[in-house]
Structure 1
Amino acid sequence: MKMTVDFEECLKDSPRFRAALEEVEGDVAELELKLDKLVKLCIAMIDTGKAFCVANKQFMNGIRDLAQYSSNDAVVETSLTKFSDSLQEMINFHTILFDQTQRSIKAQLQNFVKEDLRKFKDAKKQFEKVSEEKENALVKNAQVQRNKQHEVEEATNILTATRKCFRHIALDYVLQINVLQSKRRSEILKSMLSFMYAHLAFFHQGYDLFSELGPYMKDLGAQLDRLVVDAAKEKREMEQKHSTIQQKDFSNDDSKLEYNVDAANGIVMEGYLFKRASNAFKTWNRRWFSIQNNQLVYQKKFKDNPTVVVEDLRLCTVKHCEDIERRFCFEVVSPTKSCMLQADSEKLRQAWIKAVQTSIATAYREKGDESEKLDKKSSPSTGSLDSGNESKDKLLKGESALQRVQCIPGNASCCDCGLADPRWASINLGITLCIECSGIHRSLGVHFSKVRSLTLDTWEPELLKLMCELGNDVINRVYEANLEKMGIKKPHPGQRQEKEAYIRAKYVERKFVDKYSMSSSPPEQEKKIVSKSCEEKRLSMSKLGPSEQIRASPQSSEAERQDSSVFLDSKHFNPGLQLYRASYEKNLPKMAEALAHGADVNWSNSEENKATPLIQAVLGGSLVTCEFLLQNGANVNQRDVQGRGPLHHATVLGHTGQVCLFLKRGANQHATDEEGKDPLSIAVEAANADIVTLLRLARMNEEMRESEGLYGQPGDETYQDIFRDFSQMASNNPEKLNRFQQDSQKF
């Protein structure tokens, strides 16, 4: 066996030995760099290969979708299905190849670097240390004077011991070098040979697969030749038809090219019109208009989203305009705006006017059935005022919502399986989910989890703030409190059945919730809560009339005493009370904990005028807390013993953002309290202009929808814009809505 470094030279510690060591050490350092680079390249190759397999699988699924779409063509469907099956087999072969590559190159070479090269480095450190000690001993021995016998003996003994230790360590180091140099060859060649055999197997499998597919592809090629001949024949027939139509004269019937009152595609009328702008210059622009789905819309370019001129044709009228200089003009007037249009001829103007009038009559017959269907599909949690066409510049959508939510601790990975970069969320739980776990959450039902996309759906500001108040870490501390104690491990990505069982046990059965660890506030904090609650009630009373204050005063005093006893008596603690208290504290984690322990979201406090957690959230002044309760099924119309619901209390306290939220979520603004007052009358007495505006707009919109039969529809676009503005202001600039409270304090 050829030795890289000679053992005899090691004992001499000669310059030749040191030169050999220097060469070997440099070689090993270079070897480590090369191996590290090779392992990194292998990892990149495997990752790229897996990404290729994922893309290939998506492509294969696209072929299968195309095959299903072509079910009426037996040849295309059979061929595409067979080809997709073959591609799936190749994907499987690729997956096996990458697994074998990982074992042969990545794992084996990494092990060599971590184990053998690490031993070499450790031996090198020991050798360098003992070499330095030997050099120091030699220098000290040489410097001792002959007349100092005691120092001479001491230096000699140290030198002898050091030399002995050096020989031992040096021999071990040389042994480690020689073993490493011998082993490196076998390790490198063994891993590469295994890698090449994996490729050999992969290509053999692919060859065998396509050898079986070859005869079928040959037969299909023959069929394709016949299809080409048939396509050429059809092309000649279409060219002949084109020539025949081209010879017709359309000069006297241009209107037929632009409109068709009985079009089968749902478009009643379409064509170019000039539209007068609403700006100060009153410029005219030519746009492509159409009447469809009982709406009047226009586009500048084909790919542009249509701009809606009239949301509902039943609410508009159409008339001729002869009092302007331009010819062939007519005007479409709706309750909120008017639009001046110009046709290219008198015949086209009459056609457009007739089309609008016909659509108005048709809309009255059809809109009732459509509204009934939409009413059945609408979600009870969103209320009757949510708009499905909210503008993108007013609502957060896509990457903006994704980035804000994923910044919350724990949200960068799926709450249930840990998969990175989740793109879905459960809005009532306040967690992020991967696409597979989100599908399982949907199957639980909306009373357990309401799933929404972080990139595809629009996000109202109060809902986005709710997500940022909670997060995966907070929720998992509640719903997975006993996970380790029970010896249960979370499922990994890809384990579909295990995930389903785990998610159902976690959220439906709540098996992992620690039923004996419900947190409570310290007594000092509870006293502050009671004091603040009483202060809010006194503020609420100050906004009532004199008769109301006299009647409510004794009840409120008694309620404050009872409230104090209920809050401070921890012996009678229960989940409903925890939710009730946390709602006032604006503490969403505690609220989530209470719900996990089975708290009724509509629990009423019999010691506090049967107030609910939602009413407490109003008194606490938090918009996000109200949204969290509503998303978890809180009844927006549940009232206390004085007949006041959340909308009443928000109006009394002047919480404009909460009033806006409750109206959007379907609050009944016609409900009256014991004094016979509804929220609007209370707001008028208090001279709160913002809340009066919101309530009157909501009432006007409701009356308009009822009179026109638009049940379940969002209503007027202007109304929707105003409510979106208030929602944005309440979430992002709440100080602007405190004008009423600030003005009251001045007096």
Structure 2
Amino acid sequence: MPALDLKGCLDDSPKFRKRIAVYEDSIQHFEFSLKTLTKLTRLQVDSSTEYSQRQQELATDFTSFAQSQDDPIIAHALEKFGKSMIEVEKCRTMFVSRMGQAAYNPDVKPVIQNSHVTETFISPLEKFVKETLFPIKELKKRFEKASDEVDSVLSRYMGKKPKDPTILETAKELADARKGFYQVYMEYVSKLNDIEAKKKVDYMENVLAYMYTKSAFHHQSYEILKDLEPYMRDLTGLLNDTRQRHDEETSESSEYQDLCAQSAVDIYNPLNAVSSSTVSSPGITVPYHNTTENPNKSGYLFERKGGRVMQSWIRKYFSIEGEYLVCSMRNTKTSKDDDQSASYNLRVCSIKLSDSYDRRFCFELISPQRIIVLQAENEKDMHEWVNSLRMVNQKALNSDKAPPPLPSLHRRGVSDVTPVIKLNGFSGSSGTVSDSDKELLKMVREKPGNDKCADCQAREPEWASTNLGVIVCIDCSGIHRSLGVHVSKVRSVVLDKWETESIEVMLELGNTIGNSIFEEHVPSDMETFRINPNSSPIERDLWITEKYVKRSFVAHKDDKAQETVNQTFWDAITEGNLAEGLRYLARGANVDYRNPNEHLQTPLHRSVQLGNEVSVEFLLQWSSNVNEIDENGWTNLHYAANSNNVRLVLGLLKRHAKADIKDESGKTSLDLAVEHQNVQAVTALRLFAFDKQHNSSPANSLDFGFREAMSSFKQNYSFERSHGTSHSALDLRQTKSHSPKESSSLHETGSKLLRSDSSQ
């Protein structure tokens, strides 16, 4: 609505009064809307808090349920999802209610303080109603009272006779009343205009603040869940494969059940000791009809218990495992004495048939401690057991090796198995971290200065900026994410899978080094803006933006020329000094600076050439161009293939390095690897080209076998490199391999690829 003109107060026309009435109705409706809005928002805060608590309980149940799972893949997935849900609910808690640490402990009732929504939306609106809308009602009463007084005095004045001596006195009274009336009138109209303006500005600012707060929460939640997408895609593929295999097994089981139902009853008769090959029903194998002298024979036998007078026979399950005969009970309701599992070393036992007992088909296993009497179901089964046991006994006696350890009798739990699931890139694990990497991550968290957030000093931070090399808390991590990955790349120290090189970069840097660079010179007038664990998101955003985006606290010593800064950065990186490299990047160094004194090589070129994988990872974290060329036309992939460094070859390919770029002499990286007989590099480049040809989107590929082969190849290369294995195909054929069977297969594949490439 257009503003009320104060000149209209002097005319006080009916039309002007109608406009005032419209304003009054608008304010009344606005007040009602504000009260309804604040009430609904409070209900939303309460319901969100309740919902967040239920979600945390659900996440806790996920992690608890994961601990009871014997399938390591399911257990790991549930634990990972539960932790991610907890992180999301931490973000929601900051949105709807600021709670202490007790909020994340299900056994302690949280104490809810003022929420972000309350501070930025509810309280300002309630203050607006109380301090702005309520006073206008009192002013309206004064205006109406003044209007009535003027009308009353005017009526008395107009009613005077022409010669009435009190006309002058009444005229003065009317003038005073009119002056007071117009003053209240204009004040009232001004307040109406003021409220109308505030409806457009103050109210919308509060709404905008609420939407910004809500946007920040959803953005943080999205980033947390987005990190799960590669894992969820690969897990979906694995589950689809598992479901397909289950369907196939179900179909086979159904066919087998039908065959069993159609088979003759005689094949189950223990007296019908025929071999399984003569059974009329195809596909049916009788359990007790095994091949003679089976070294892995297993089945049920009766064992004699007790003395000569009180004897009993207990049915137990026996199996030959290596040099041991292992027995166990099937029925869990048997007595405690009978339920004991046992094993017998066949190397020190003798086996013989016996007919000195009152049962048929008996034989004896004579150990140094005692004689074990066993009974089979029929004569054929008895001879098979005796022959199998004697064969294992003779083989053990003729062996010059020490007896192997007793096979494990217990079922492996979740902690005993590492899930074999491909998550992302060429890494071969499923989101679980190897023991060595766990130790490195532990060293990162224990590094001096890393026990507190690099920005607000909050204790026990669990998020990291991999390119800045600092550890931050969850509150500051949300601000870091909003800066963009070109400024800060945020990962969870707890939830995410870390590559070894990335961890080593963090070990080279850390909060102490990071703050010595990005807080080297904090102006005194900015000290008041330094944040702490209780700072608001707005305060955090201001400080972190000044620190990392504007780099206001970086000391640009002597304002060195750009060429000098670039050259100093190049020298620091090639020397492996990441701290100095980060310092000069903060001062504006070009990460892809091409050194004119070194054949236009970039720092990444030189790091790859030197094989410094940690420096390479640091530069890639800072988005160094993997396809940059030097004056000879060589890319980083050319240098990696030329030095036969498969870890760098695979790492560069993962970062979208182009394998088809040719140098000045027209050679690709593969051509260089073939020319120098670098089998490993040839194998990696060929396998990658094969995968790219058959899987245009590697992230969506369900070919886990290929990716596991690449991972195994990468690991085997590291082993051979550390043990001094030669790179040439000839040397590989002549050198005795120390690596597993998969490594030999991959070397053979590489040699074939190399020979075929050479023939071309």
Could you state the TM-score of these two structures normalised by the residue count of structure 2?
A: 0.41
- Scaled by the length of structure 1, the TM-score of the pair is 0.41
Greater share of helix: 1
